[in-house]
Amino acid sequence: MARTLPRPPKEVDLHAHAFLKHLEDYDADELLAASMDRLRECLDAAIYWAYAEIRFIHGKGKGALRSAVYEELAHYKDSGAIARYYPSYQNEDVVVVVIGL
């Protein structure tokens, strides 16, 4: 079977400025939605490629991105797609997602 999804990086910055151009063309809700799409895209690819884990940088800010990330990861965990997730011990602005057991 041919692999079709590109391999994601092992650490993904979810801040919109890391993957979008012309941020002034987006409102806050659109930026958050784009970040969540990026999370899903990279996490699904990491699952597909059987990564042991992947890290997502959500940062500090007002916490909107962090809250959305943890809410989305809870859905993935509840569905059995990932084993667990937790804040990085080295940097609380990063969440570590463990895919396999």
**pLDDT 10s digits, 16-29:** 989 988 888 889 89
Report the candidate in 39, 27, 26 with the shortest Cα–Cα distance to residue 66.
39
Give 1's pLDDT tier (boundaries 50, 70, 90).
low
81: domain CATH number? 3.30.1370.110
* Structural domain includes residue 5: no
User: What pTM did the predictor assign?
Assistant: 0.90
Nearest 5°: the CA angle 88, 94, 97 is: 70
How many domains does the chain fold into?
Answer: 1
- Which residues is 94 bridged to in the sheet? 57
pLDDT of residue 2: 60
Measured between alpha carbons, how far is 81 from 1 in angstroms, rounded to an integer? 21
pLDDT tens, position by position, 55-72: 999 988 678 999 999 999
* Structural domain includes residue 60: yes
